[in-house]
Structure 1
Amino acid sequence: MDNIVGKKPALIWATHISVAVLVFLWLFPTVGLFVSSFRTGDQIASSGWWKALFPQEQNTMIRTASSDTQKQIDGNYVIEGNLFAEEGDAQGEISVWGTSSRNIGVYTPGDTADLGEDGMLTVEANGDYRLVNDTEFTGSRGERVFLTAKTPPSFTLDNYRTVLFSGKATDKMGKAFLNTFTVTIPATVIPILIAAFAAYALAWMDFKGRAFLIAVIVGLLVVPLQLALIPLLSFHGTVVEWFIALVGTPMEDNARRFAEVGWLGRLFGFAPGDTINSKGYLGVWAAHTGFGLPLAIYLLRNYMVGLPKDIIENARVDGATDFQIFTKIILPLSFPALASFAIFQFLWTWNDLLVALVFLIDSSGETTVMTRQIVELLGTRGGNWEILATAAFVSIAVPLTVFFFMQKYLVRGLLAGSVK
């Protein structure tokens, strides 16, 4: 009676708990990265992202206004203002403060500190301060005030402005974002086009050696990427040099000519001033296509084999050619499998670093992808966690969008051929 159809398994609760745990383990760091991308570096250093919606108490140092703002009142020189306004924050509540980092809590709000020749400083709980001296203030920098303050939750878009629109060499994430699309879209479309034709031939066309080709494709699924990168790079460089030699001589002049064209030069990996360089978009497209084809052919072939045979036979009786059957019948019916592989290939190429490092070495940053740009941020700005968090979230935003919109096709494509 335990196996009655329709009766829920006894351990269904264990399945639900396991799924909930996996979802939490995936969602927790993603949400944390998203929240951190809207926080400042001081906020990230002082508290975890889960406290972002609550008031934060942190130690900080703020300078008063410079001597240029002083006024003469009743024979004394006075500098007034608000400490939070000096830092661009309009709100906050000070619990303790001091004039030395060694003893921040020596004063409470409303107390007056004797700064000697620098005058008398009074700080209120809301950040208002008054610096009074009987002699004129000098110097372009204000007095340092160390304080412990509780500030309300605050978020900023400055991180995204810096990451996407900054002109600095280490912050060209906007350019890297477009470069990643330039790599990913062709590297996803090209193997799908090739694999669709190959899968149809292996599924519905009779020819000698078909079983052997299927076995070879299955064997290629286990070939490690790292094993073939260097031979592939050497072969690609040879092909590029051969192509340039066909265009004309000398070879260096043609390289400069390609570089002057702009996008065509970058396609072959040329930059102004280069002689011969095989590091370009063609190389990275070829690498991703070559390593994506075995999985694509295997997945699409299994799906096409499971399609109703009567439909194809009736089309042939009606006089349809193999190309017409492929384009008008097989491709529309195989959309779930095509979308499933597109998701896999897109995620792989978008998150790839190894192939980009090998085929897109570019000191000028014209072909740098996002994964490499994040590595450069780690090397040059390892302490700016807000920049790194924002860059990382920008990098994963597109794959997340693609996955959520096409996940139903992913499941249908993975089950291709499992049920007859």
Structure 2
Amino acid sequence: MITSSKRTPLTYLVHATVLFLVIIWTIPTAGLFISSIRDKSQLSTSGWWTALSTSEQRLVARAHEPKAQTQVGDRYVISGNLFEGDAGEITKFGSSSLRPDEFDVGVVAELKKGQTLQVMENGDYLFSSPSEWKGSRGQRIFYTAETPPRFTLENYREVLSAEGLGQSFINSLTVTIPATIIPILVAAFAAYALAWMRFPGRALLVAAVVGLLVVPLQMSLIPLLKSYNMIGEFFGVGSKTYVGIWLAHTGFGLPLAIYLLRNYIVGLPREIIESARVDGASDFDIFRKIVLPLSFPALASFAIFQFLWVWNDLLIAMVFLGNDAEHMVLTGQLRELLGSRGGNWEILTASAFITIIIPLCVFFGLQRYLVRGLLAGSVK
């Protein structure tokens, strides 16, 4: 029998679609990484796709302070270099923000009170005045420069050396690990009960679990927090504790966990379950010795989703733990580094890659179980 090895057009279409989706998702990630290692000034003025080309920037710098002036003949001179050791080429300069490209390089520009300014192509500048320079701050120089690509790890050093980052990293692990394990344990028991145990109202419970999957998280935060505070006051427990956020993440993660695990467990061979019951095994023995080991792909799949969700969460952490340094999680600490205006792009890009280190380790450690767990119950 001769089998044809020709691929159908649909196969090529599927492969092309997958490749397109991979590229679409990879490009922003690559851009984020390139931005995280670019020089701060270049990052704020040009896109990451120009990282390997010379960029034109309009910049401003201050000359040396008046105390650095020297007297040459009957004039007082302040000199220096705008690049301060970095590479670049000046194309235009000016002394006013309204006219930053008023003069060509090498021209001696006439300023007020008989002062002059000359800027050379390599960045050397020369301020000259017939009278002694006064004040404590240097004069501003506006210039247009063409600078070669500059890459640096300073963005990562700034983030990693930030005060409180280590404590916030520990806080995130303290929140994420229990908030991943607890719902898995609870959901595994519930999924087995809904899959193999007969009791009244089981179908309604399954329908309720499916319905809870579409409940928006934000709608339940306020009533949940009020209920938690009332319980805390009754038992004399403070509101800013890890128990509260563990319970919150457990409650929000249980519907997906139960749904995912139940679909997997109900697809296990019935003969194994029935044979164990004939041999006198209880439901707990069946769950512990048979179902749980066979359900590891589904458990690992949910563990990946739950860990990623809790690790990247900021909203629930802010609601249940607040802003104090003792309980602030990593996402909250990195948000504080952005400043009040959120314009420090170099901090944002470097922080993004620092936060994904642990989730990447978890994903690649368990990814071989992900597809098997997600397809649980879809085919029999």
TM-score calculated relative to the size of structure 1: 0.76
Per the alignment, residue 364 of structure 1 pairs with: 324
How far residue 376 of structure 1 moved from its aligned partner, in angstroms, is: 6.0
Summarize deviations over 1:164-215 as a string: whole Å, max 9, x none: 4334xxxx66554443333222111110011122223333445555455444
Indicate whether 1:124 and 2:120 are aligned. yes
Structure 1 position 384 matched with structure 2 position 344: yes
SS of the equivalent of 2:9 reads coil
Instruction: Indicate the residue corresponding to 1:416 in structure 2.
Output: 376
> Relative to 1, partners in 2 of residues 1:230 and 1:136: Cα closer, same or farther, differing over 3 Å?
closer
* Structure 1 counterpart of 2:366: 406
2:338–2:347 CA contact under 8 A, matched in 1: no
Matched, 1:151 2:147: yes
| Shift in CA distance, 37/174, structure 1 to aligned 2, threshold 3 Å | farther
User: CA 1:217–1:120 in structure 2 vs 1: closer, same or farther (change >3 Å)?
Assistant: closer
1:246-282 residue CA offsets vs partner (Å, 9 max, x unmatched): xxxxxxxxxxxxxxxxxxxxxx5x4xxxxxxx24322
Deviation at residue 403 of structure 1 after TM alignment: 3.5
**What residue is the counterpart of 2:298 in the other structure?**
337
Q: What code does the residue aligned with 1:142 have?
A: G
Alpha-carbon distance, 1:395 to partner: 4.1
Q: Is the 8 A contact 1:165 1:174 kept in 2?
A: no
Distance (Å, rounded) in 2 between the aligned partners of 1:90 and 1:376: 31
Superposed displacement of residue 135, structure 1: 4.6
Residue of structure 1 in register with 2:102 after alignment = 106
Show the counterpart of 2:181. Answer: 189
SS in structure 2 of the partner of residue 147 of structure 1: strand
The C-alpha deviation readout for 1:134-177, integer Å capped at 9, x for no partner, is 5543332222221111111113334334444334xxxx665544
State the alpha-carbon separation in 2 of the partners of residues 283 and 92 from structure 1. 55
8 Å contact kept, 1:173–1:391: no
Cα distance change, pair 90–354 in 1 and its aligned pair in 2 (3 A)? closer
1:220 to 1:103, Cα distance in 2 relative to 1, 3 A: closer
- Matched residue of 1:229: which SS? helix
In the alignment, is residue 14 of structure 1 matched against residue 10 of structure 2? Answer: no
Change (3 A) 1:201 1:47: same
Aligned residues: 378
Separation in structure 2 between the aligned mates of residue 33 and residue 76 of structure 1, nearest angstrom: 51
Shift of 1:413: 0.4
Residues 193-202 or 140-149, more deviating: 193-202
CA contact (8 A) 1:104 1:147 kept: yes
Trace 1:23-38 onto structure 2 (pairs within 5 A).
23-38=22-37
Q: How does 1:146-295 map to 2 (within 5 A)?
A: 146-167=142-163, 175-206=167-198, 210-244=202-236, 270=238, 278-295=239-256
Equivalent AA in structure 2 for residue 95 of structure 1: T
User: Structure 1 residues 311-320 or 329-338, which shifts more?
Assistant: 311-320
- What is the SS of the residue equivalent to 1:380? coil
Moved more, 192-201 or 396-405: 396-405
Letter in 1 for 2:243: L
The answer to whether the Cα contact below 8 Å between 2:114 and 2:130 also exists between their aligned partners in 1 is: no
The separation in 2 between residues aligned to 1:353 and 1:292, in whole angstroms, is 16
State the AA in 1 paired with 2:234: W
Please give the alpha-carbon distance, in whole angstroms, between the structure 2 residues aligned to 1:358 and 1:120: 59
The whole-number CA distance in structure 2 between the counterparts of 1:323 and 1:123 is 83
Amino acid at match of 2:247: A
1:288 partner amino acid: H
Provide Cα deviations, 1:290-337, integer angstroms capped at 9, x if missing partner. Answer: 121122122112222333445556666777665454444433322211
Distance 2:223 2:285 in 1: 38
For 1:340-365, what per-residue CA distance to the aligned partner results, in whole angstroms no more than 9, with x for missing partners? 111221222233344334323x2434
The 8 Å contact of residues 100 and 144 in structure 2, kept in 1 or not, is answered as yes
Taking the aligned partners of 1:100 and 1:291, their CA distance within structure 2 comes to 57
User: Unaligned regions of 5+ residues in structure 1, if any?
Assistant: 245-267, 271-277
CA distance change for structure 1 residues 66 and 190 in 2, over 3 Å: closer, same or farther? same
* Letter paired with 1:127: G
- Shift in Å, 1:76: 5.3
CA contact (8 A) 1:202 1:301 kept: yes
**C-alpha spacing 1:204/1:400, structure 2 compared with 1 (3 Å):** same
Partner AA of 1:415 in structure 2? L
Residue ranges of structure 2 left out of the alignment (5+ in a row)? none
Structure 1 residues 132, 153: closer, same or farther in 2, change over 3 A?
same
Identity of aligned residues (%): 58
**How far does the alpha carbon of each residue in 1:212-251 deviate from its partner, in whole angstroms, 9 at most, with x for none?**
544443343344434433333232223222222xxxxxxx
Q: What is the CA distance between 1:82 and its match in structure 2?
A: 1.3
Whether 2:82 is the aligned partner of 1:90: answer no
Letter of the 1:44 partner, please give it.
L
CA distance in 2, matches of 1:140, 1:228: 57
Q: Aligned equivalents of 1:118 and 1:392: distance in 2?
A: 52
Over the aligned positions, Cα root-mean-square deviation in angstroms equals 3.3
- Aligned equivalents of 1:282 and 1:5: distance in 2? 61
CA distance in 1, matches of 2:253, 2:266: 20
Q: Which amino acid aligns with 2:194?
A: L
1:352 aligned counterpart, secondary structure:
coil
Letter in structure 1 aligned against 2:209: I
What is the SS of the residue equivalent to 1:11? helix
In 2 relative to 1, CA 176–320 (structure 1 residues): closer, same or farther, beyond 3 Å? same
With the length of structure 2 as denominator, give the TM-score of the two structures.
Answer: 0.84
Assess, with a 3 A threshold, how the Cα gap between structure 1 residues 50 and 343 changes in structure 2: closer, same or farther. same
